[in-house]
Amino acid sequence: MQIAFIGLGHMGAPMAINLAKAGHSVKAFDLSPDAVTKVAGAGCQAAASAEDAVKGAEVVISMLPASQHVEGLYLGRDGAAGLLPHIAKGVLVIDSSTIAAATSQKVAKAAAAAGIGFIDAPVSGGTGGAIAGTLTFMVGGSDADLERARPLLEKMGANIFHAGAVGAGQTAKICNNMLLGILMVGTSEAIALGVANGLDPKVLSEIMRRSSGGNWALEKYNPFPGVHENAPASKGYAGGFGTDLMLKDLGLAQETAIATRTSTPLGGMARAVYAAHSLAGHGAEDFSSVIKMLQKK
Ligand code: NAD
């Protein structure tokens, strides 16, 4: 299949490479020329622009940071035209970015008016899952569009859930990430408390992992350096899922809670903790670096 892939960051690059490895023709574009060069050396074709990438594409996939990037790309921004008029009728757009459900719905509506299909398909599983091709996709859209996307999603992920109509994938994703943000702060607090009281972080983490406090951070993504060799904490908090991206997702969760008059007190507190951590200069580091805020100096 001829695929256009736009957004080749921590997640998009390995996802595009997995599609190329599966035998698809992937024309890839990112605003960063270095990002394009990297995937071009791994089986993808380099596109000179987003317009160039979508020429002849049967499916367009985007993996961008936030709502404004997705809306700007497809619908245009600051007077600049968007990409939709360059995409052929009948093409399917799969947006895997984590953005506001309302933005997915806005782009989907404009796409439908142009005869273009659209699903939101945000992911969970981190950069490790993106590289291994074991991501979880949470899809919002019609049954027919999901079935068209499924063979491609299966090359990038291990679990595919149909959450509902367009936007439902985003709602599921921010519920999950609100829980993850809270869990990472709680896990960091517990480890920092134990270490301040003389415990070995590896021993404590293993005790909690196998006890009632067990969770994904303790399984795979420990915030304390040296506990999990491949976790961002053991690589100077480089790569992984940026603090500012977690802050964005917790903001989306709070906006959704306000709009529906839902009570999410711990989600609100977690957002405040990551906001303070970002302001302290850690926005670009992996979100597990939040443990630095909680450690005894
Ligand atoms: P990233 O910042 O590493 O990558 C985003 C890329 O998009 C950058 O390379 C940037 O240059 C590019 N970009 C921005 N605007 C563009 C445009 N108009 N045209 C082309 N390229 C453009 O981010 P990431 O970690 O890959 O995350 C991408 C999305 O996936 C985010 O919405 C994030 O919340 C979500 N996500 C991330 C993770 C993770 O572990 N990193 C996990 C699950 C979901």
Residue 36: per-residue pLDDT: 98
Residue 297: per-residue pLDDT: 81
How many structural domains comprise the chain? 2
Dig out the tokens for 159 from the structure. Answer: 């679990």
> Distance from the CA of 222 to the center of ligand 1, in angstroms?
23
Tell me what the mean pLDDT of segment 72-99 comes to: 96
Tell me what the mean pLDDT of segment 228-253 comes to: 96
> Distance from the CA of 122 to the center of ligand 1, in angstroms?
11
The enclosing domain of 246 has a CATH number of 1.10.1040.10
pLDDT interval class at 296 (50, 70, 90): confident
> Distance from the CA of 29 to the center of ligand 1, in angstroms?
12
Distances (CA, A) of 82 to 106, 199, 258: 13, 55, 30
Indicate if 105 and 7 belong to the same structural domain.
Answer: yes
Tell me what the mean pLDDT of segment 202-230 comes to: 97
Indicate if 221 and 81 belong to the same structural domain.
Answer: no
Dig out the tokens for 125 from the structure. Answer: 């599983």
> Using a 6 Å CB cutoff, which residues line ligand 1?
6-12, 29-32, 35, 50, 63-65, 69, 73, 97-98, 123-124, 126-127, 240-241, 245
Dig out the tokens for 28 from the structure. Answer: 């890839």
Indicate if 182 and 150 belong to the same structural domain.
Answer: no
What domain range is 44 assigned to?
2-165
* Residue pLDDT, tens place only, 8-37: 999 999 999 999 999 999 999 999 999 999
What region does 215 belong to: left with phi over 0, alpha with psi -120 to 50, or beta? beta
The enclosing domain of 152 has a CATH number of 3.40.50.720
pTM above 0.85, yes or no: yes
Q: Which of 119, 105, 129 is nearest to 10 (CA)?
A: 129
> Strand, helix or coil at 117?
strand
What region does 226 belong to: left with phi over 0, alpha with psi -120 to 50, or beta? left
Cross-strand bridge partners of residue 159: 136
Instruction: Choose, from 173, 202, 235, 292, the residue flagged as catalytic.
Output: 173
